[in-house]
Structure 1
Amino acid sequence: MELSALLAAAFLPLLSVPAQQPSAGGSHPPLLVLDGYEGDGIRLRCLSERSFAAVQLLWENARGENVSGTPLAASSTANASSSFLLRPGAGNSASCRVIDKALRTSAESSVVVADVFFPATSPWLAASMGILLLSLLLLPPALCRVRRHSRMAAAEGRAQKELQGGEPGAAIIIIIAIIIIITITTTTFNYSNDEERETFEKGIQELKSTVDKVQTELDFLRARSRAVNITLDENHKHLSLTIQGKRRVAASTQLKPLRRALVAATEGFSGGQHYWEVEVGDKSEWELGVVSKEARSGLRSSTTVPRENLFSLQFSHGKYSLSGEDEVREGKPCSVVGVLLDQEQCVLSFFDVEEKCPLGSLHLDFSSSLYPCFNPGPDGKWLGVRPVST
């Protein structure tokens, strides 16, 4: 049995959704339970204190339309209960309404489930379900703290701790889980004034900002997992460059260096995803990217930089620019640059490794083999390819 199935069997029957919306009278809202995974969906159970003979159970989807449920008991004297399979893409929400015809009252409970929780759409489900479910078990006291606006920062701090500990998938799912439940319950809170509401909404925005930050780092870690070994090719470099140990390159002091003298890597790629890192240190100018096989072949004999089939990010005195684009933007210098060649999506991306954030990306309108290339600039300082430990 898969890990996700084991976790679902162990924890999901314990979870109930407290988003209750009584519509009239004094009827007790039904208990809505996430019963477990079934195929690509999640099985929901609706339980009432009243018997089948006294009430009627109705399911509604995200558009308010009645949908069919499955009764869980055959006897009219048994407590009313029903189940419903919530599938991804169906609005991700469902409501169970209990109608008491004799008392002319009804009560309702609702649930909203994010895409990340469905087994068919969550890439982190197997690895992070245990952490997610444990966090959901702690949500009732967490909601009380949120209501008093006294412990909002604690949730964000917990996620940041998970992130610093190297578990970005767990952190992002914990935060998303908190946001989902808080969003469901906002309609049930009675705010005493606009200031209280603004404070609450500000806390929600801060949590969402944290999710975006974690997602950015998650993208970087995913790119870094595609690391490959790169070495510099002595036979495919400009004459003004000097190579040391197949991994370091600098402008030669014996020849007049050019601003855009390139050296290509020995390794070339024609498909898949490939990532490497380059130490640029405190250099004021550098250029990193990829070149085509034809452009690489001409690096030794030519005294100019190829203008076609060269895709790169250039840095010059605090300004970044991408090849083929006129936009030049100022940015903080970085000492280590990560490069991801994604030939599946035809995208070349660059990252600040220390900050774990993107520097820019460009589209590759090229399908043949591409080779990493490096320009150390004219300052004579070394630029080096470094091994990546994932």
Structure 2
Amino acid sequence: MNRRCISVVFLFCILQIAKPETFDVIGLDEPIIVTVGDDAVLPCHVVPSTSLEDLEVRWFKLDFTTPVHLYAGKQDRPDLQDKDYRERTELFKNEFPHGNASLKLKKVKASDEGIYTCFIDFKSSYEEAVINLKIGGIGQPPWIHLKGTSNKGVRLVCKSDGWYPEPSVQWLDGNQKAANAKPETTHQKDSNGLFTVLTQIDVTSDSMNRFSCLMQNNLLNKAKEARLQIPEIFFPKINVWLIVFWVFVALVIIIIILEIMFHRRNRKRIKELQLFCILEGYKNMEINYPSVTLVKKTDYQEVEVSEDLKSVRWTGKSQPNAEKGLKDRSYVLGTEGFTSGRHYWEVEVIGKGEWNLGIVSDSVNWEEEIELKPENGFWTIGWLGNNLVVNTSDSPRQSIGDVPKKIGVYLSYESQSVSFFNADTKSHLYTFHGIKFPQKLYPILQTSENTSLKICPNSMKGSIVLKY
């Protein structure tokens, strides 16, 4: 029995001897606050105390592999150190026997702010602690000056540099109360990470005409202030008669604008016609306003004409027994064309799909696929790829603006031009100039899915019959 007890006690002693000793690395819970340019000590201790001479002590900020400071193999390793910290860090090696791994960081900069980790490798294990370093910078004494006068009073400007982080800014009056006006403040960071502050405010005269600019670093709880006394002569006086004069001028201008708008509304149609004529250099030439009508000639169902023969829409249907017609049966064109004169009609666009409209030559061979270009006998604009484009020879997708709801087509045979207008805003979209027209021209429409084109009604006599 005694022999068994002795064996148990002996085994217990061996286990206690073999059990590795555990250590804790202690930092600091509260942030360390240091002023720019000063030295900082980041505390780190091993508990229970043990010598660090044969261990690895690593300080790093963000990247473990790029240390702020590294002690390994009984020596510092500046070759592995982050270049921003070289020759600025130091360990207290005389304190190593007592387990002190604190780091001294010299001449701190704004960029040094952040979380640092103290990492110690005990060979059989490792421990670490984190320390939060806060940086504060007190800027230069503010410089305040009078910039000039404005309609709101006198403008004051205050400037100071060398702050970190961004300071709070406050304008005070002669009674050390906040100024009523709202200041405009900007912060600009320099190459050292410090802030230059520029603030300005418009102030009005009071009993003292004394104003101050206060900038405060809330982290360090320190502030700097600049004051300025403004002579009374700089504050503009309010001229009541001048105000009355400008109010009278504004009323006269408003009356004139309303009068112009009233007369424009009464003469709107006349001015629209004059606009189209003046664009060609004529003023008193007669314009024909044809009443465009649509007539179906085949049973082909790709497009469908309404019962009132005034609109056409895309159906996507096809009819096997349809008569031989256009290569692309989504086109619609006039059965009776133009050989002279000036003609104007409007087309309303309904839907968001693609379309084309304009003028086509009678010489087009409809049995072939033909690109919409002037050299092929087409003078059109259209909505393609979410753009309003003009189908020119140079660029078939020359963008000319947003899609209008209603488009005016104006043909002047003798002037050799075709013009397109936004009929809602009465604005010019595009004009084909210098066209050597063939013997006969026809209106043409082309539509696609989700879109219909509608001929707008007018009160003028005349007719154009459209076919497809």
Same fold per TM (> 0.5)?
no
Indicate the structure with greater helix content.
1
Indicate the structure with greater strand content.
2
TM-score range, shorter chain: 0.3 to 0.5
TM-score of the two chains, using structure 2 as the length reference: 0.36
Structure scoring higher RCO (CA < 8 A, sep ≥ 6) equals 1
TM-score of the two chains, using structure 1 as the length reference: 0.43
